[in-house]
Amino acid sequence: MNRNIKKTVYRILEQDKLAREDDWYLIQQVLIELLPCNSGTAFGQVLQGMKIKGISFEAITRCRRKFMEENPQLKVQNVEKARREEEENYYLEYMRR
Rg (CA), the chain: 16
pLDDT tens-digit map of 9-37: 999 999 988 888 888 999 989 988 888 77
Q: What is the pTM of this model?
A: 0.69
Q: Which DSSP state fits 54?
A: T
Task: Report the percent of the chain where pLDDT is more than 70.
Answer: 91
Give per-residue pLDDT as tens, 79-93: 667 777 888 888 888
- For 56-61, the CB contacts below 8 A with 24+ separation are 56/1, 57/27, 59/1, 59/2, 59/5, 60/5, 60/9, 60/23, 60/26, 60/27, 60/30, 61/23, 61/26, 61/27
